[in-house]
Amino acid sequence: MKKYYIYITAIVLMLYQLNVAAQGTVDDQRRSMLLDDSLITNTDTLVSDTLDWPKNLRSKIELLLQSELFKTSTVGLEIYDLTADSVLFCFNQQQRMRPASTMKVINAVASLDKLSGSHLFKTRLYYTGRVENNVLKGDVYCKGGFDPLFNTDDLRAFAESLHKVGIDTIKGNICADLSMKDSDLLGEGWCWDDDNPQLSPLLLRGKNNFMKNFCSELRRMGLVHVGDTLKADTPAKATELCSRFHTIDQILMKMMKKSDNLFAESLFYQLAASSGVYRASAKNAKQQINKLIKKLGFNDTDYYIADGSGLSLYNYVSPELLVAFLRYAYQNDNIFIHLLPSLPVAGVDGTLANRMTNGLANKNVKAKTGTLTGISSLAGYCTAANGHQLCFAIINMGVRKTAMGQRFQDNVCKAMCEQ
């Protein structure tokens, strides 16, 4: 009998190895992205270990769920085995919950899917009229593209471009073109007493003070302005003088690593404007995200998308939906290659720099954190000790202290990485 068992074990192992090999080089590339070479463990494990590890993982998490924490708070979570294409563990995974900043995962995946990784955040300078004897008899237009990285060097380049065409006097208006988005400066459901960013498409160093500083820079360079400063759309016949841009990868790095809400809203409105609408609104961005929700097989009316940052108290998603977005990203190289490098790495950088600083979760877990009053969340990727790639989403609601939720999430991640 023992002899037959050995034969059966050998056959199971052979079939498992053939199945892994059949996934080809794409999965190998994804694996190398997910895990440093120093973290890759020996996958030549016994078949019994391969078959038992999901059971062992479930036992560990079930034990964690017995914590006193859950007498006064709620948790929803789902863990998905990307290698085996199956759910490993779930608990309250379909419950609608506030995602906090893990909302940025949904925003990032939907935006990369729609815009592509080559998308640029552009701010442009135009003029109308004619130049005579170094005098511009016409207007200057600063057309905003909601670029949160537009800085003083970019502003200086704008002013210098006027000098380069021989302009030292502007006899006309300097106009702020804010037509990229609607006039709402705050998001739906944002708390009035939070330190909220202002959602203007014309920004300087992330602040809504572009025009004041542009006029100051013109004066500093000796340009005279005889006219008004006002808001107006750029005419179709206007001539472009200068264009400054930043890449979507630059935006994603700060948006995800540092959980920057302004950068997230900037991306949200790029998504909103992607269909070519005039004065794009949050509603336009929600429509794009809802399209992807339906594409993934969910009913979009079961959830509510209020913003792109997770600041809103009106956002309601589920751990199951977050995992679906992470799975979709993993399956699409054009998304995954931009998303994964932007995620905080446990014990290394971003909002995970001081979490999971030792053990197999260290440098392994790559995930987006989320924090609001009473809410703590975590969603991302890791690699189990047997080489399987996993994605997961955990939302703790009703936690009195953020650290309590974070401790639970870290323990779940350690369990995933050690199995």
Q: In this model, does residue 220 exceed pLDDT 50?
A: yes
Summarize pLDDT for 249-290 with one digit per residue, the tens.
999 999 999 999 999 999 999 999 998 999 999 999 999 999
In this predicted structure, what is the pLDDT of residue 172? 96
**DSSP letter string, 39-64:** GPPP----HHHHHHHHHHHHHHHHHH
Q: What is the dihedral of CA 362, 366, 371, 376, to 10 degrees?
A: -70
Tens digits of residue pLDDT in 301-340: 999 999 999 999 999 999 999 999 999 999 999 999 999 9
pLDDT band at 33 (very low <50, low <70, confident <90, very high): low
Q: Are strands 224-225 and 130-132 parallel, antiparallel or unpaired?
A: unpaired
pLDDT band of 46, cuts 50, 70, 90: very low
pTM of the model: 0.89
Closest alpha carbon to 74 in 310, 386, 394, 379: 394
Q: What is the pLDDT of residues 86-116, one digit of tens each?
A: 999 999 999 999 999 999 999 999 999 999 9
Rg (CA), the chain: 25
- Answer whether residue 40 shows pLDDT above 90: no
Tally Cβ neighbours within 10 Å of residue 89.
21
pLDDT at 294: 98
H or E stretch including 16?
A: helix 2-22
Task: Read off the DSSP letter of residue 401.
Answer: S
Residue 105: C-alpha distances to residues 70, 121, 133, 301, 376 (Å): 26, 19, 53, 19, 15
Q: Which pLDDT band, with edges at 50, 70 and 90, does 194 fall under?
A: confident
- Amino acid symbol at 66: Q
Taking CA atoms, 382 is separated from 21, 30, 305, 363, 392, in Å, by 20, 12, 27, 9, 8
Predicted pLDDT at 2: 39
- Contact in structure between 117 and 109 (CB atoms under 8 Å): no
Using DSSP's 3-state secondary structure scheme, residue 123 falls into: strand
Residue 10 predicted with pLDDT over 60? no
User: What per-residue confidence (pLDDT) applies to 54?
Assistant: 80
